[in-house]
Structures are given as C-alpha cells and as structure tokens.
Amino acid sequence: MAELAVGDVAPDLTLLDPEEKPVTLSSLWNRAPLVLIFLRHFG
C-alpha cells in the first residue's frame, strides 16, 4: 500500500473521546480544518 502524502484524502479513522465515545475524523474536518498532533507519550 502506498504511503500517505500531502494531497491525498485523509483516512477516516475512528478514535475515542475521553468518555470512550467513537469520533470519526470526517465528523471533525467537515466542521473546520483539522490539526492532529500525534503524541508519542502514553505514560
């Protein structure tokens, strides 16, 4: 599978909010431009 690059359509991933409710990325970017920061830290 080709690696994602600038200009590609972003994957519509599902993540969990602090109450464990699913949130799709498209539900966010449909509202406004989205900046996602992927944290390295868990602990």
Partner 1 sequence: MQGRSAEFEARGAQLIAVGQGTGAEAAAAARRHGVGFPCLGDPGHASYRSLGLGRTGWFGLTLAPFLEAPRQAFRNLKQADLRASASPRSDVRRLGGAMVVDASGRIRFLHRSATTTDVPATDALLGALEACRPARPGG
Residues that bind partner 1 (CB under 8 A): 3-13, 15-21, 23, 25-26, 28-43
Contacts of 26 (CB under 8 A, 6+ apart): 12
Q: Which residues face 24 on adjacent strands?
A: 14
The nearest distance, CB 26 to partner 1, in angstroms, is: 6
**Contact criterion met (CB below 8 Å) for 9 and 28:** no
The nearest distance, CB 17 to partner 1, in angstroms, is: 5
